[in-house]
Amino acid sequence: MPLVDMRDMLNHAYQNNYTIGGFGLVSLDFLEAIVTTAEICRSPVILNLSEPLFYQHDFSLIMPAVERAAHHAKVPVAIHFDHAKKHESIVQAINLGCNSVMLDVSSETFPVNIAQTSRVTEVAHACGTAVEGMLGFVGGVEGENAINNLGEVVYTSSEEAKVYVERTKIDFLAVSVGTIHGRQPNRSTKLDFKRLKRINDELGIPLVLHGGSGLVEEQYHKLILNGVAKINCYTELSDIAAAAIRSNVQTRNRKGYIESLHDVKDCLHEQIKLYMHLWGSAGRAAEVLKDLCTTARI
Ligand SMILES: [Zn+2]
């Protein structure tokens, strides 16, 4: 039942100055760790499924498990399909149960981004599905060394953002204000808070941050105060899981697949819990469930 419309969830976070984690999910270990931690922390949560991370697996096979976990969760859950490569992927994701979608056309020109995102919004909204748009280009690749895939970062312009939201009718905007997808050698990411404030003042809708792993506490607080209601987090979780597996392989007597996954969920749990408290979503589940209309949209 607590599959919640992400618009309701993010609007609550936006109006109450906290942010909800869009935690990257690639396997059942991640799914269980994310949902269990959200229940323990009494936090609303977003299950973030990024199409590029499913290059080795059939995405449709994991969705029944994701849907079941969302419906049985004791906290509000939304299922978001991220970085879709093409319109057909969006349609498939909606049919499979995602109640929020994002087509990644941020590297295209402004008119192409508007045209293709508008097409997605038209279809998604007709199905009751929320849409995240992205304007500006956040470099790097999720779960990999950012330096290898930087591309040219393009910051989001507040003037263009206003036109973009009006024309595409998206529900949330992912902005480029200095973060990069993937692992970075140092953690001195500089964020353009003046730009973020201008965008937030101009739009007045929940903003989304990609490449949100590993910033410092003060940065997260400033992001939240300037309209960021969803932060995507995958690379850090991926590294934590991989480190646990490496340690198991080196130290445990039994070297099988299941043994190598020992403690992975517990390690993920600790990091997710930390973010839920840091971002202020911990303890908010009852408020969201009580104040907002929970709608089974699929
Ligand atoms: Zn992203």
Place of tokens 């903003």: 207
Task: Convert the pLDDT of each residue in 191-232 to its tens digit.
Answer: 899 999 999 999 999 999 998 877 889 999 999 999 999 999
Which of 8, 29, 58, 82 is catalytic? The answer is 82
Element (H, E) at 133: strand 130-135
User: Ligand 1: distance of its center to the CA of 252 in Å?
Assistant: 35
Q: Tokens for 50?
A: 């990024």
Exposure pattern of 77-104 as b/e (b: 16+ CB <10 Å)? bbbbbbbbeeeebbbbbbebbbbbbbbb
Six-digit token string for 292? 């907002």
CB half-sphere exposure, 161, CA atoms < 13 A: 31
- DSSP assigned state of 170: -
- The residues that bridge with 172 in the sheet, in sequence order, are 132
- Residues 6 or more apart whose CB falls under 8 angstroms from that of 177 comprise 136, 155, 156, 191, 192, 193, 195, 196, 199, 209
192 is catalytic: no
pTM of the model: 0.93
**167 Cα–ligand 1 center, Å:** 22
Would you say 5 and 201 are in contact if contact means Cβ atoms under 8 Å apart? no
Distance from C-alpha of 16 to C-alpha of 167, rounded to nearest angstrom: 27
* 188 burial via Cβ count (<10 Å: 0-12, 13-18, 19+): exposed
Distance from C-alpha of 259 to C-alpha of 248, rounded to nearest angstrom: 7
Residues of the chain with pLDDT under 50: 294, 296-298
CATH class of segment(s) 6-236+263-291: alpha beta
CA–centroid distance, 153 to ligand 1, in Å, is 13
Q: Hey, where are the domains in the chain?
A: 6-236+263-291
Write down the pLDDT at residue 148: 61
Q: Ligand 1 centroid to 249 CA: how many Å?
A: 30
Spatial CB neighbours of 194, under 8 Å, sequence gap ≥ 6: none
As a whole number of angstroms, the distance between CA 292 and CA 266 comes to 31
- Determine the distance separating the centroid of ligand 1 and the alpha carbon of 131, expressed in angstroms: 14
What is the secondary structure of 238-297 as a DSSP string? HHHHHHHHHHHHHH-S--SHHHHTTTHHHHHHHHHHHHHHHTT-TT-HHHHHHHS-----
